[in-house]
Amino acid sequence: MSKMALEHGAINLSQGFPDFPVSAELVELIYENLKAGHNQYAPMPGVPALRQVIAETIQKTYQRATDPDTEITITAGGTEALFSTIAALVRPGDEVILFDPSYDSYSPAIRLNGGIPVPINLSAPDFSIDWAEVELHVRDCTRMIIINTPHNPSGAVLKESDLQAVERIALEHELIVLSDEVYERIIFDEIQHESVLKYPNLAGQCVAVFSFGKTFHATGWKIGYTVASPALTTEIRKAHQFITFAVNTPIQHALAAYMKEPSHYRALGKFYQAKRDFFLEQLKGSSFQPLPCHGSYFQLLSYRTVSSKREMEMAEWLTKEHKLASIPVSAFYHSKQEDHLLRFCFAKKEETLQAAGKILRNL
């Protein structure tokens, strides 16, 4: 859809990346580290100073003591963190439960490593999980459950009761929980992020994945990290070593310095909530109906009263004929389920969102 947007000169609210600048302070820190000579391979697990500040941040945020040497690994973005975890821990024939609509890297990573995806559809319109149904899908060959909160593409957020349910199931059946938390700081409406890191009983069976690209508006830098027990981290690093080996050295040093000031990430939820609310304001008078969004920087819109077109057809028509690109939500389902929903990214400048809103109001 980004390629189509470029070809047709459309406003691109499809792919999830900001169109506003990265912090000038952070860019300057990278420049300083380039000049200081931090231009060779970083240690395979990541620059020690960065892992140390991550451990300190986890302690402040989730009151969890984390060993930076044995429990934190810096990866080439959240997607590599997910892939390395699956490559390390999923064996041929293992089943992995995931929830559709789901981020599009999960299923290919499972299949490439010989695993079998077991998708369970979330319940619209709030995209909640039916944990009784989950238990029906757990078998002797089930190895892992993948959860994602805040959720891409829906913007739904898991509650404490959800984490208690996944904890109970994981412990009872000895399952690994892979928790995609790349939007941990982008959460709205005074809701608290429920990380697996808050649940001590899960400590030996969970892997949490995070992304600096999402937190600091720099998706092109591709830097993320995993947090897991020493035993799981040892296995993840065996995969990471031969998939990526080491991640961009000067940016790691820059992030280590930048993260020492918590204000750089603590205000992120309010920043993006204002963007969500601004985008919703632009939709007033439109026939597109927004679904609840409590996190991430994606807003789902129903076009059920606008058109009977299938989702991909609607997304293409909107891009080519009206110069506004989105993503059909059916693309995030194994079953290609159709609900007349499109995903729009609101991590954009106000003028971009204003222009998009005008197009939607005129349809």
**46 torsion bin: left (phi>0), alpha (psi -120 to 50), beta (else):** left
For residue 68, the SS3 value is coil
Task: Compute how many other C-beta atoms are within 10 angstroms of the C-beta atom of residue 267.
Answer: 11
End-to-end CA distance of the chain: 20
In tens digits, the chain (363 residues) has pLDDT values of: 999 999 999 999 999 989 999 999 999 999 999 999 999 999 999 999 999 999 999 999 999 999 999 999 999 999 999 999 999 999 999 999 999 999 999 999 999 999 999 999 998 789 999 999 999 999 999 999 999 999 999 999 999 999 999 999 999 999 999 999 999 999 999 999 999 999 999 999 999 999 999 999 999 999 999 999 999 999 999 999 999 999 999 999 999 999 999 998 999 999 999 999 999 999 999 999 999 999 999 999 999 999 999 999 999 999 999 999 999 999 999 999 999 999 999 999 999 999 999 999 999
Burial 286-296 (b: 16+ CB within 10 A, else e): bebbbbebbbb
Q: Provide DSSP, 251-307.
A: HHHHHHHHTTSTHHHHTHHHHHHHHHHHHHHHTTT-S-EEPP--BSSEEEEE-TTT-
The one-letter code for the residue type at 104 is: D
- The answer to whether the CB of 202 falls within 8 A of the CB of 170 is yes
List, in order, residues 6 or more apart from 58 with CB less than 8 Å away. Answer: 64, 66, 197, 227
Angstrom distance (rounded) from CA 122 to CA 99: 6
The secondary element (H helix, E strand) that includes residue 116 is: strand 116-121
Alpha helices by DSSP H, listed for the chain, are 2-8, 24-35, 48-62, 77-89, 106-112, 131-137, 160-173, 212-215, 230-243, 249-258, 263-266, 268-282, 311-322, 350-361
Task: Find the helix packing angle between 77-89 and 230-243, rounded to 10°.
Answer: 110
Going from the N-terminus, what domains does the chain have, and what CATH number goes with each? 2-16+266-361 (3.90.1150.10), 40-260 (3.40.640.10)
Burial classification of residue 308, based on how many CB atoms lie within 10 Å of its CB (0-12 exposed, 13-18 middle, 19 or more buried): exposed
Block residue for tokens 């970083």: 42
Give per-residue pLDDT as tens, 114-140: 999 999 999 878 999 999 999 999 999
pTM check: above 0.95: yes
- The answer to whether the CB of 214 falls within 8 A of the CB of 182 is yes
